[in-house]
Structures are given as C-alpha cells and as structure tokens.
Structure 1
Amino acid sequence: MTQKFIVDPEFWDIFPDVQIAFLTAHGVDNHSYGDLKKSRLAEANEKAEDWVPYSPISKNPIIAAWREAFSKFKTKKGARCAVEALLKRASKGNGVGAINPVVDLYNTVSLTYAFPLAAEDMDKIVGDVHLGVAKGGEPFFPIGEAGEEPEEALPGEVIYRDDQGVISRCWAWRDSARVESTEDTQNILFYMENIQPERKEDHEKAVQMLKDSFKQYLHVDLEDHLITQDHPEVTF
C-alpha cells in the first residue's frame, strides 16, 4: 500500500523556512550490534557538550531557536524540543546510554549535530503521516507512560499524526508508544528537522552520517528526501 509523508499548509504558514529530512529503512535487524561500538555513543555525548557551552541552557543558540519556535504554537506545559533534553543531559555529564542499535545510531547523530531525530515503526503507521496543526482532541499515548486513557492534542498544537492519532506531540517533543521503534522493528521511517537556515550544511552532514552509519553497521541503505515548502510531500 502506498503511503505519503505530508507537511500540511498550516505548518508552512508558521514555519515557512523549515527543512525536514525524511528517511526510510527496510529490512533492519535491530538485535545485533555487529561491529557497532557503544563507545561511539559515548563520544557523541562528549561532542554534544560543545553545543551548549553557556549556562543557563536557554542562552545557547540552538536551544534558543527551538524555544522561540515552540513559542509560536500551543504546547503542553513544559514541553521542549527533544534535542534540548539530550543536550542538557550531556552538559551535566549524564549522557544518553545504549538502548539498541537503531536508537544508539540515531542518538549518536542527534548528539553530534544537535538536531532532533525521530524513528517510527513504519509497519505500525496507519495511512499517511502528516505534520500539521491539531484541531484538538487527537489521541496520543506517550512513550514511557502506561496509562489506558490517551492524552489529547491541544487545538493549535503542532503534531505529527496518522489516521489513528498523534505520532509525536508538540512537534519534536515526545513520540507515541503506538508507533515506537523497538528491537523487533524491521521497517523504519525517520524525520529530522532543521529550523535554522544557516545550519543547512550541518543538517546535510547529519543526514549523511545517519546513512553511512546504517550502511556500515546494519548493512541497510537509507532512502532520504528533503521536505520543504516547495516540496511538501513524498511517497514511501
């Protein structure tokens, strides 16, 4: 079945200059580390400290840019871009630990280049994936919380969604447990947002690092696409 990744017009009305790397991987074996050394993740945690030299963390340009972006739409109280949490942990010497090969690889990229990077189980996606503005009430089951009742997106909140509900709340804050990539996931979609046009080259390098890492360690070729206001959708 053909599916699409679509960024809705309402999103571009708020963020016309954003670029999103959308990537897909098929036939992933997420059980074995092979030649992947967990020391790569430790090195990335150290590298991440370079992105947040100032205290408080809000004084750092990347964090300030994301906080400004989050101020432009309705968010759950306290929600921050996921990359802020990663960089904050690294800056305090409490770096991200190993989880599984796929997560470790994309966390390594995210820490190295300071971009948020999400991975979802493609086989659990229902219909098309949209990045847009919530009407309000769209259901969301957050990773790491076992409640039987879903949260609901707020009217005006920027969300990723499919036909069944929210995939990621508050844009790049927290992913859904329903589509979480696990050790048994074989087919994965990734998205990595760049909100700062001046960081275009870093964004390209981060995409290439992810592709190279999957090829080297998991022997999988990633297909990548750049989503912009002029090219707002892709079939996967």
Structure 2
Amino acid sequence: MRFQHSAALWRDFPELVPGVLAARGLHAGVSVDDRLVPYAETAAKRLATATESELPEIQAWRRAFTRMGLKPTQYRCASESLLRRFRKEGALPRLHPLIDLCNAVSIAYAIPVAVFDLSRVAGDLEVRYATGEETYLTFSGDDEHPAPGEVVFADAEGRAHARRWTNRQSGLSAVRPDTADVLIVAEALHETARADVESLMGTLATELTTLWPATSPHPAILTPSAPRFDTAV
C-alpha cells in the first residue's frame, strides 16, 4: 500500500510538511488516561494566552482553506475543531485509546492528525484533488460526493477517506474496537512545520511503542523529492 500526495498538491502547497507512520497489532485494551495529561496541559497553556485561531499552525491551515475556496470559519481543520472544543469544555470526548492519544497529541501541537483503519482502505491512498466521482461515507451512514477540485484522501476504488483535506474523516475507515492496523498522517503548513511534525511523529512513535509494545512504527517525513510512503497490508 502506498500513501502519497499528488504532484498538483505539492505544486500548489510547496510549504506542506506531511508526517506518516503505520502501526500494527493495536487493540483497545490499554489505558491512556495518565499519558493524555501532559498534552492537555500543553494545549491549555497555549490557549491561556491565545485562542486557537491565533496559533500559527491554525492560521496556516486557515490560509490554505481560503485558497481552496472554503470559509475557514465554516470549515475548520481537525486540530482547530479539537482545540475549540477543548477550550470550551475543558476536555475531549473519549472514543478509543488510539484516537484519544492522537487527539491529545494533536491539540498539544495544534496540528491535524488523521488515523485510518488500513483494513478499510482499498489499495493505495492519495491526497489529491477530487474528480467529483469519489464517494464519501459520513459517520451517520450517508454517501456524499465531494465536489470536483476538493482535496480528498482517495483510495484505489475512488472512496474518499477524508473531505476538505484536514476537515473531516470518513466513517468508513474510522478506528473501531477491533481495529488492528492503522496509518497515521499529520500535516502542517506553518513556518516551523518541519521541526514540529518531526517532533510530533517522534512523540507518537514513542507512545505507540510504550502502549502497544508489539508494534514497531517507523515515522517518515514526506517531501516533494521523496513523496511516497510504502507499507505492507
């Protein structure tokens, strides 16, 4: 299975820094409660002096959404939505140990983190502009068709596993209690994105190895000259 961004996306967003890793042998029978605390504290400290929309990581995604013709206050990147909820409620909903961990790391770094169940992805996965023929399954079970030109995560069967780039994932490849193998993707566009994404991916790799010792994640940072990540399915 190959993950990559299209050449057109690299052309239009040369500042993009994606981090990716595959993790296997996961299960829901671990406790992450204590491990989430420092990430929540980091996010709270940042939000004490600025709203999420003022953070450079979020501002960069807002500019990208504007360039894509989207209203950034109507469609927010995933990390902004999480930070917004965290600021208002003081906590995030608990869903699954892996998702809870990735959400906590996401708000600490203010960088979107997507998690895909590899068993639900057909063939290769590419972040690209939609043709309008892709299908997207919502969490409520409805099928949608992204508009032509929208940025989607599309697999070999034309199924969109995320819409509006980092706005919303699909219910099709969402992590479930029986999910074992996942692909994790973090993307950033701000000035210090390279260092921050490297740090984020290293943090996730360490946490995954600690919580699920059987997995051996190897993070990679993609670039225009090395844009592909290959993993066995």
Give the alignment's TM-score, normalised by structure 1.
Answer: 0.89
Distance (whole Å) between structure 2 residues aligned to residue 214 and residue 57 of structure 1: 27
Q: Structure 1 185/87 Cα, relative in aligned 2: closer, same or farther at 3 Å?
A: same
Distance (whole Å) between structure 2 residues aligned to residue 95 and residue 162 of structure 1: 33
1:229 aligns with 2:227: no
Compute the displacement of 1:193 (Å). 0.5
Distance (whole Å) between structure 1 residues aligned to residue 196 and residue 227 of structure 2: 21
Cα contact 1:41–1:98 (8 A) shared by 2: no
AA partner of residue 188 (structure 1): V
Q: Secondary structure at the match of 2:219?
A: strand
Cα contact 1:21–1:226 (8 A) shared by 2: yes
Distance (whole Å) between structure 2 residues aligned to residue 108 and residue 169 of structure 1: 22
Distance (whole Å) between structure 2 residues aligned to residue 40 and residue 167 of structure 1: 28
Cα contact 1:26–1:188 (8 A) shared by 2: yes
Cα contact 2:202–2:219 (8 A) shared by 1: no
Partner residue in 2 for 1:214 = 208
Q: Structure 1 63/116 Cα, relative in aligned 2: closer, same or farther at 3 Å?
A: same
Cα contact 1:18–1:193 (8 A) shared by 2: yes
**Pairs within 5 Å for 1:41-80:** 41-53=36-48, 57-75=52-70, 78-80=74-76
Q: Structure 1 37/124 Cα, relative in aligned 2: closer, same or farther at 3 Å?
A: closer
Cα contact 1:129–1:160 (8 A) shared by 2: yes
Partner residue in 2 for 1:22 = 20
Partner residue in 2 for 1:172 = 166
Distance (whole Å) between structure 1 residues aligned to residue 55 and residue 126 of structure 2: 30
The range that moved more, 100-109 or 41-50, is 41-50
Cα contact 1:74–1:154 (8 A) shared by 2: no
Distance (whole Å) between structure 2 residues aligned to residue 23 and residue 215 of structure 1: 12
Partner residue in 1 for 2:8 = 10
Structure 1: 5+ residue stretches without partners: none
Cα contact 1:41–1:107 (8 A) shared by 2: no
Give the alignment's TM-score, normalised by structure 2.
Answer: 0.90
Distance (whole Å) between structure 1 residues aligned to residue 58 and residue 188 of structure 2: 12
Structure 2: 5+ residue stretches without partners: none
Cα contact 1:18–1:195 (8 A) shared by 2: yes
Distance (whole Å) between structure 1 residues aligned to residue 7 and residue 32 of structure 2: 42
Q: Secondary structure at the match of 2:35?
A: helix
Distance (whole Å) between structure 2 residues aligned to residue 55 and residue 217 of structure 1: 32
Compute the displacement of 1:51 (Å). 3.4
Compute the displacement of 1:185 (Å). 0.7
Specify which of 150, 157, 175 is matched with residue 157 of structure 1.
150
**Pairs within 5 Å for 1:8-157:** 8-28=6-26, 30-33=27-30, 36-53=31-48, 57-75=52-70, 78-143=74-139, 145-147=140-142, 150-157=143-150
Compute the displacement of 1:76 (Å). 8.2
Could you tell me the percent identity over the aligned residues? 28
AA partner of residue 107 (structure 1): N
Cα contact 1:129–1:162 (8 A) shared by 2: yes
Distance (whole Å) between structure 2 residues aligned to residue 27 and residue 57 of structure 1: 34
Q: Secondary structure at the match of 1:213?
A: helix
Q: Secondary structure at the match of 2:183?
A: strand
Q: Secondary structure at the match of 2:19?
A: strand
How many residues end up aligned between the 2 structures?
A: 228
Distance (whole Å) between structure 1 residues aligned to residue 180 and residue 54 of structure 2: 40
AA partner of residue 4 (structure 1): R
Cα contact 2:65–2:71 (8 A) shared by 1: no
